[in-house]
Amino acid sequence: MRFLLNSLLEIQSKHGYLPKDELERISKEFNVPISRVYSIATFYNAFSLKPVGKHIIHICKGTACVIKGSEVFEDALEQMGVLDDEDFTYQPIRCFGACSLAPVVVIDGKVYGKMTVNRLKRMISKLTSDSVVSEDAQ
């Protein structure tokens, strides 16, 4: 199992995700059913089955963030076409452990607290034009 995980990590690192043909190769190489390989690939957050975009957006769906309004952020991303844009990868997360900053959004590894829909839209617009978020992380 450890070697299988190492192989999956290498593939993830090389491609940025786990392509189907590579998973099939791993299944044969380790003589493990493909369903088992998929169950491992989907269990760990380190793996993605889809190509990852240039920008990764996490919206916190934890209780504190939902109470403070994070539920509308996903709609904002959808309205802006972000969810269908291959330059962006959206991944909801349960809690970042920064509940005092709720609602929290993480963009390209930077945590932004006290997020609002308008601020999020400005940041996404900036990303689509610049590819760098200029607001300071909080």
111 binds ligand FES (CB under 6 A): no
9 binds ligand FES (CB under 6 A): no
Interaction pattern, residues 112-131, with ligand FES; x per rule: CB under 6 A = --------------------
Note whether 121 and 74 are within 8 A (CB): no
- Distance (Å, whole) CA 47 – CA 22: 13
Q: CB 97: neighbour CB atoms within 10 A?
A: 10
52 binds ligand FES (CB under 6 A): no
64 binds ligand FES (CB under 6 A): yes
Which DSSP symbol is given to 136?
A: P
**Residue holding tokens 């932004």?**
112
Q: What residues line the site for ligand FES (CB under 6 A)? A: 60, 62-65, 95-99, 102, 104
